[in-house]
C-alpha cells in the first residue's frame, strides 16, 4: 500500500482551528443562552416585586375604604411640632401593643409621620378632627412598608391636603409649597382618571433626593366620594439591581412619554394585573461589558477550547511524523518506478513473514530487453517494465510478494502447502505477462525465469535462495528462453 508522505502544515493547523472554532461557537451559544435566561429571571423578579407591591397597595386601600372610626382619638398619643409652617406629627411610643393584650406579647415597631398645614396641629381645626379619625390606619402603612424590602415608602395623601407617610424620612422633607400643589401634580390627575386601577408612574426622583422611584398610586373612595390617594414608592435602583449577573443594565420606561434607547434589547411590556400604564422593561446591551463577562464566566470553557486546539495540533504533528516516517520507510523498501519492493524490501519481507510448508522464489528476466530498447527506444523499455510489474501484481495473491531488483529483473515470492501448485502459479504469472505483451510493443515479448522451491523452514536466507533461482534463470536463458526452470 502506498503511504501518503504527510499532511500539509495548513491541514495540521486549520483542522484543529476549525474544531476549536466549533467548540468556541458552542461556548458563545451557551453564554448567549445563559444571558437570556438571566434576563428572563430578572424580568420575572421585577414583575414579581411590582406584583407584590400592587397587592400591598390594594390591601391598604381596602383598609382605608372600609374603615370606621374608633372611639379613641389617637392623636393624643402623638408628638407634634410646626417647622416652617408645616405641622409634623409622629407617635410618642414607637412600639405599638394591641389594647387588652398580655404585656408578654411582642410589640410592633412602627415608623410614620403625618404632615400638613400648620392648622393640622390645632386640636380645634377641621383638619385635626379629620385626621384623628384616620390616624389609627397609620400603623398599617408602617406594617406594609416592612413587608417588601424594595419599598421606600407608603403614603396616604388626603383631599384636605395633609399626608400620612411611612417611614418618616419622606415626610420630613415636605414643604408648604408641596402641600399647596400636591393635587395639581400630574400623578394625582392620572390616578383620579383610573378609579378602578393602580396607576404606575416613573421612574422619577423623590423630593429632596436624587434617588429614582417607581410609584404606584390608587384613589381612595368612601361611600362613592373621593377621599384621597395612596402612593407606594419602589426603589428604582434596588428594583433593577442585578447584583453583577448581567454585563448590561436593566431599565423601565414609559413609552407614552419617552423613546427607547438605541441599544435597548429584549423589550417586554410590564404586565401586572390591575395596574394601568404603558411601561416596558428593556435590557441595555453593553458590548465591552459582555465581552468581559464572557471571558470571565466562560474562562474554563475557553481554556478547554485552547487545550483542544493545542492537543489537536500536537496529535496531528505526531501522526504527521509517523506518516512521514512510514513514507520514507516505504520509500526505502520500494522501487520508485514500479511500486514493487526493492531488494532490501524483499529481504525484510522474508525475515518478517510466517512461511507455509513450501516457499518458492522465482527470478524473472525480460528476454532480449536490450534489443527492445534499441528498436523501440528507452521509453518503450520503461513501458515494458511497468507493464510486467502490473501483470505480476495482478497475478499473485495478497500474501505473495514481488520485487524489482534492478533493470529488467524481477523476483516473485510465493508460499503454500503444495509444491506442484506453486509451480503452476509461477507458470500462470509467466503466461499472464506474455499473453498481452503485444499491447505494449509490436509482436510482444517473452520472459524467462528460474524458480527455487524449498522447505518453508529454510526460507529466510534470501541470498541463498536468490542465487539458486538465478542459476536456473541462466539455464533458461541459455536453453532457448521463454521458459521457467524449476
Looking up residue 457, the CATH number of its domain turns out to be 3.30.70.270
Strands 279-284 and 264-269, bridge-based pairing: antiparallel
Cell digits for 415? 508460499
Query: How does residue 73 score in pLDDT terms, banded at 50, 70 and 90?
Result: very low
CA–CA gap between residue 9 and residue 3 (Å, rounded): 18
Least confident of 205-219, 352-366, 398-412: 205-219
222/367 same-domain check = no
Region 416-432: what's the mean pLDDT?
92
Rg (CA), the chain: 51
**Pairwise CA distance, residues 264 & 87, whole Å:** 45
Q: What's the pLDDT tens digit per position in 295-325?
A: 988 888 899 889 988 888 888 778 777 776 6
- Specify the pLDDT at position 367: 92
Is residue 23 in some structural domain?
no
pLDDT at 208: 62
How far apart (Å, rounded) are the C-alpha atoms in residues 213 and 203? 5
Specify the pLDDT at position 109: 67
Lowest-confidence range among 156-165, 179-188, 343-352, 465-474? 179-188
In this prediction, residue 71 has a pLDDT band, given cuts at 50, 70 and 90, of: very low
**Phi, psi dihedral angles at 102 (to 5 degrees):** -60, 140
For 339, phi then psi, to 5°, come to 80, -5
Go through the chain and tell me how many residues it has.
486
Cβ–Cβ under 8 Å, residues 290 and 245? no
pLDDT in tens, 118-175: 999 998 888 888 888 788 788 888 788 777 778 888 989 988 888 998 888 888 888 8
378 domain-assigned: yes
Residue 59 lies in a domain: no
Residue 2 has pLDDT above 50, yes or no: no
CATH number of the domain residue 186 falls in: 3.30.450
Total tally of structural domains belonging to the chain: 2
Q: What stretches of 137-286 show up as alpha helix (H) in DSSP?
A: 138-145, 168-171, 176-181, 186-192, 236-240
Most distant pair of Cα atoms in the chain: their distance: 153
User: What is the reported pTM?
Assistant: 0.62
Query: Quick check: 331 pLDDT over 60?
Result: no
CB-CB contact of 397 with 412 (8 Å): no
Tell me the three cell numbers of residue 464.
541463498
* Cross-sheet strand order for the sheet of 401-406: 401-406, 409-416, 358-366, 447-455, 484-485
3-state secondary structure of 267: strand
- Checking if the pLDDT of 362 tops 90, the result is yes
Domain that holds residue 160: 67-203+215-231
CA 176 to chain centre: 59
Query: Tens of pLDDT along 234-245?
Result: 999 999 998 888
Neighbours of 186 (CB within 10 A): 9
Whole-number average pLDDT of the chain: 84
227 and 347 belong to one structural domain: no
| pLDDT of residue 204 exceeding 80 | yes
Domain presence at residue 464: yes
In a domain, 127, yes or no: yes
- Three-state DSSP state, 361: strand
Do the domain assignments include residue 132?
Answer: yes
pLDDT at 458: 76
Digit-coded pLDDT (tens) for 87-105: 999 887 655 554 544 445 5
What's the confidence (pLDDT) of residue 70? 46
Q: How far apart are the first and last CA of the chain?
A: 31
| pLDDT for res 325 | 66
Q: Are 220 and 86 within one domain?
A: yes
Residue 425 lies in a domain: yes
- The answer to whether the CB of 450 falls within 8 A of the CB of 474 is yes
| pLDDT band for position 3 (cuts 50, 70, 90) | very low
The answer to whether the peptide bond before residue 167 is cis (omega within 30 degrees of 0) is yes
Residue 73 resides in a domain? yes
Nearest to 403 by CA among 395, 418, 413: 413
Question: Strand 163-166 relative to strand 113-117: parallel, antiparallel, unpaired?
Answer: antiparallel
Amino acid at each position: 500500500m502506498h503511504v501518503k508522505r504527510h499532511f500539509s502544515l495548513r491541514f495540521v493547523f486549520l483542522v484543529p482551528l476549525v474544531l476549536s472554532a466549533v467548540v468556541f461557537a458552542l461556548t458563545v451559544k451557551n453564554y448567549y443562552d445563559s444571558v437570556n435566561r438571566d434576563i428572563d429571571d430578572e424580568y420575572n423578579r421585577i414583575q414579581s416585586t411590582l406584583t407584590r407591591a400592587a397587592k400591598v397597595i390594594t390591601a391598604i386601600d381596602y383598609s382605608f375604604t372600609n374603615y370606621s372610626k374608633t372611639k379613641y382619638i389617637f392623636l393624643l398619643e402623638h408628638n407634634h411640632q410646626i417647622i416652617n409652617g408645616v405641622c409634623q406629627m409622629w407617635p410618642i411610643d414607637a412600639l405599638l401593643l394591641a389594647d387588652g393584650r398580655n404585656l408578654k406579647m411582642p410589640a410592633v415597631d412602627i415608623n410614620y409621620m403625618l404632615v400638613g398645614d400648620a392648622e393640622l396641629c390645632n386640636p380645634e381645626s377641621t383638619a385635626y378632627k379629620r385626621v384623628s379619625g384616620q390616624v389609627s390606619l397609620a400603623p398599617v402603612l408602617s406594617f406594609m412598608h416592612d413587608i417588601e424590602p424594595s419599598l421606600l415608602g407608603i403614603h396616604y395623601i388626603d383631599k384636605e391636603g395633609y399626608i400620612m407617610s411611612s417611614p418618616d424620612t419622606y415626610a420630613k422633607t415636605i414643604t408648604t409649597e408641596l402641600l399647596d400643589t400636591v393635587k395639581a401634580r400630574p400623578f394625582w390627575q392620572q390616578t383620579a382618571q383610573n378609579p378602578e386601577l393602580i396607576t404606575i408612574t416613573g421612574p422619577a426622583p423623590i423630593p429632596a433626593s436624587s434617588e429614582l422611584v417607581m410609584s404606584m398610586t390608587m384613589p381612595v373612595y368612601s361611600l362613592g366620594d373621593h377621599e384621597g390617594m395612596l402612593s407606594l414608592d419602589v426603589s428604582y435602583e434596588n428594583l433593577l439591581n442585578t447584583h453583577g449577573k448581567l454585563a448590561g443594565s436593566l431599565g423601565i420606561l414609559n413609552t407614552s412619554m419617552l423613546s427607547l434607547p438605541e441599544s435597548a434589547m429584549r423589550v417586554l411590556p410590564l404586565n401586572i394585573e390591575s395596574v394601568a400604564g404603558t411601561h416596558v422593561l428593556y435590557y441595555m446591551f453593553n458590548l465591552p461589558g459582555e465581552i468581559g463577562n464572557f471571558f470571565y464566566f466562560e474562562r474554563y470553557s475557553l481554556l478547554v477550547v485552547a487545550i483542544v486546539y493545542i492537543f489537536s495540533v500536537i496529535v496531528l504533528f505526531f501522526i504527521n511524523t509517523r506518516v512521514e516516517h512510514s513514507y520514507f520507510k516505504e520509500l526505502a523498501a520500494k522501487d520508485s518506478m514500479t511500486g514493487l519492493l526493492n531488494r532490501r524490501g524483499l529481504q525484510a519481507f522474508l525475515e518478517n513473514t510466517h512461511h507455509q510448508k513450501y516457499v518458492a522464489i522465482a527470478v524473472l528476466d525480460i528476454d532480449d530487453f536490450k534489443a527492445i530498447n534499441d528498436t523501440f527506444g528507452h521509453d518503450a523499455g520503461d513501458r515494458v517494465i511497468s507493464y510486467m510489474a502490473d501483470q505480476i501484481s495482478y497475478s499473485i495473491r495478497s500474501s505473495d510478494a514481488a520485487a524489482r531488483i534492478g533493470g529488467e529483473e524481477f523476483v516473485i515470492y510465493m508460499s503454500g502447502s503444495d509444491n506442484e501448485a506453486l509451480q503452476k502459479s509461477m507458470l500462470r504469472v509467466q503466461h499472464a505477462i506474455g499473453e498481452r505483451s503485444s499491447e505494449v510493443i509490436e509482436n510482444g515479448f517473452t520472459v524467462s525465469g528460474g524458480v527455487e522451491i524449498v522447505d518453508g523452514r529454510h526460507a529466510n536466507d534470501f541470498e541463498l535462495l536468490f542465487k539458486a533461482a538465478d542459476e536456473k534463470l541462466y539455464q533458461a536463458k541459455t536453453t532457448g528462453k521463454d521458459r521457467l526452470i524449476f
